[in-house]
Amino acid sequence: MEVTGKIILALPEQSGTSKAGNAWKKREYVLETNESYPKKIHFDFFGDRADQYPLTIGQTIKLSFDIESREYNGRWYTSIRGWKSEPAEEGAMAAQPTYGAAPAPAAPAASNPGAVPPPPIPAATADEDLPF
């Protein structure tokens, strides 16, 4: 999966040693998408990728990631593990779909001679109970 956004938070690096005696490290970040309703996404780079993809606050990136869920003591935990990061292309943030945006305006009737205008939308009646 992929997402494009701006890094808004870089958390401190975490490291340790596993039960098997192997050293590990992890870097966590928060990315904010550029949509009508921006979403914040917490993700991490684990192992060698933590050093391979150092990110800074304010950087706009295209993140490739996997989502993984696991169960522990009857509760489920979900993590987003980044596996690739690259600088976002110019205009990529603007090219993302914006949900809830108005559709593009129709071409004027003058540019399409002979076109029949759409019928008018009927007004709501008093017996309708919809709030919109």
- Separation between Cα atoms, residue 74 and residue 79, nearest integer Å: 17
Question: Which pLDDT does position 89 carry in this prediction?
Answer: 81
Q: Please, what are the domains in the chain?
A: 2-90 (2.40.50.140)
Its pTM surpasses 0.85: no
What does the H/E/C string look like for 3-44? EEEEEEEECCCEEEECCCCCEEEEEEEEEEECCCCCCEEEEE
In order along the chain (132 residues), what is the average pLDDT of each group of 10 residues?
96 94 95 94 95 94 96 96 90 49 53 66 62 60
